[in-house]
Amino acid sequence: MAFSDDVVKRCFEIVDGKCECRRKSHNHPDGRCNKELVWENRGREGRGAWEVHHIDGNPEHDTLTNCEVLCWDCHSQTF
């Protein structure tokens, strides 16, 4: 399953359109990525590209609390 459009939109709004990655292995200078994202660039590459990710890794848990917004760079490193 996938996150509903409502969950994706709400999650994007909560993080104010910025990547919320805090993975230490990504070496973010301030502890969080915070890259500015572009709503229209979901699932694409390039400036402002992003995707949502299941925090617990289980695609059956499509809740807001299990959704995180990651820039394309961070998302591609999570697997």
Question: Rounded CA gap, 79 and 74, in Å?
Answer: 10
Pair of tokens at residue 49: 């590209």
What residues does each domain of the chain span? 5-77
Please report, in tens digits, the pLDDT of each residue of the chain (79 residues total).
699 999 999 999 999 999 999 999 999 988 999 999 999 999 988 899 999 999 998 989 999 999 999 999 999 987 6
Question: Rounded CA gap, 78 and 40, in Å?
Answer: 22
